[in-house]
Structure 1
């Protein structure tokens, strides 16, 4: 890897940490340059605009998400889809709790929802891809006869994502313990319905 690429990766790692703490919108070239010990012009040369910087951080965050949430689940295979989904969900919630219970992608999407900007489009793509991944796992459960034959995988993924959104909200209002308890109770109830 070239020196320029290494520098860019280090900048993105720092930018990811800052965006995780304060939100994507708070990320500026000036503040990031200060945190990285670089000049504004030196850092600007890597991205050319605040929007490009934020887009790069969103893509970097997605890579981190895949490595922390999706990659470990792939290693489990498809023998037991319920167990695989529980592992995915556990990693997913762990990902959120590393950001004070907040979803970095949803928070950023909310912040940029005022316009159809490139960041919003990228966030929509990432979240859509994630929901589709959950749907594919549920479809595998149906194909492997682990879930009932007439289960609508799209509806099931909608309900599962709805539990996640509820957990996201409950965390900010009631705290981690209640959010965690309600989420997992909801997941168990869903799995019971999917198998009946």
Structure 2
């Protein structure tokens, strides 16, 4: 086997492990990832699984990164190419809520929201990675709100950080109601609340 082929096989195996870990963590949390369960599910040895990552924490961070990539595809990519302003912000919110309500995309609800609750009081590299992913998302939302202000779609005295904070809180609340109570009307309630915050409630 050539070195290039061997490297490609290594990457493919690592990606397969992470993909299965993401599905496992979606229902059982990042702490629910165990080397033994992954090895059994993939028909690998425990040493073969951990050998690709070195530590469980490295595997957890790689799993988080995979979940972020899914979120990017399902939510952020939906507004790529749209002019920045309130309509783009609303389309982003709509895609976000669709992601929360679609159990096929992320079984167990929003992976990032669940991870934030799971690791908010646990210091360490996984906590730091979860915190940074959440902070990046808030910065992105704030930038979108700021662009809507610059476009004249929101009042000039609007606080973009407050907009981002409120939208994020609404989505987190909707995710909890959808998952805990299996109440999909939370998606529509959240949508109305987001539209109100964005000045489009009529």
The two structures have a TM-score, normalised by structure 2, of 0.86
In the alignment, what sits opposite 1:82?
A: 86
1:91 aligns with 2:95: yes
1:188 aligns with 2:195: yes
In the alignment, what sits opposite 2:184?
A: 177
2:97–2:191: 8 Å Cα contact kept in structure 1? no
Unaligned runs of 5+ in 2: 1-6
TM-superposed CA distance for 1:115, in Å, is 2.5
1:69–1:91: 8 Å Cα contact kept in structure 2? yes
In the alignment, what sits opposite 1:21?
A: 27
Distance 2:128 2:32 in 1: 19
Change beyond 3 A, Cα 1:172–1:17: closer
TM-superposed CA distance for 1:72, in Å, is 2.2
Residues 138-188 of structure 1 show CA distances to partners (whole Å, capped at 9, x for unaligned) of 100111111111111111111111211221232234433321121011112
Distance 1:160 1:108 in 2: 18
1:109 aligns with 2:131: no
1:141 aligns with 2:148: yes
1:170–1:178: 8 Å Cα contact kept in structure 2? no
Distance 1:9 1:100 in 2: 19
Aligned pairs, how many? Answer: 193
Q: Which has the higher helix share?
A: 1
TM-superposed CA distance for 1:83, in Å, is 2.2
Distance 1:28 1:75 in 2: 40
Give the number of the structure with larger relative contact order, counting CA–CA contacts within 8 Å between residues 6 or more apart.
2
**C-alpha RMSD over aligned residues:** 2.1
Distance 2:55 2:180 in 1: 36
Residues 57-80 of structure 1 show CA distances to partners (whole Å, capped at 9, x for unaligned) of 0111112211221122122232xx
In the alignment, what sits opposite 1:70?
A: 76
SS in 2 for 1:176: coil
Change beyond 3 A, Cα 1:173–1:12: closer
Unaligned runs of 5+ in 1: none
1:33–1:40: 8 Å Cα contact kept in structure 2? yes
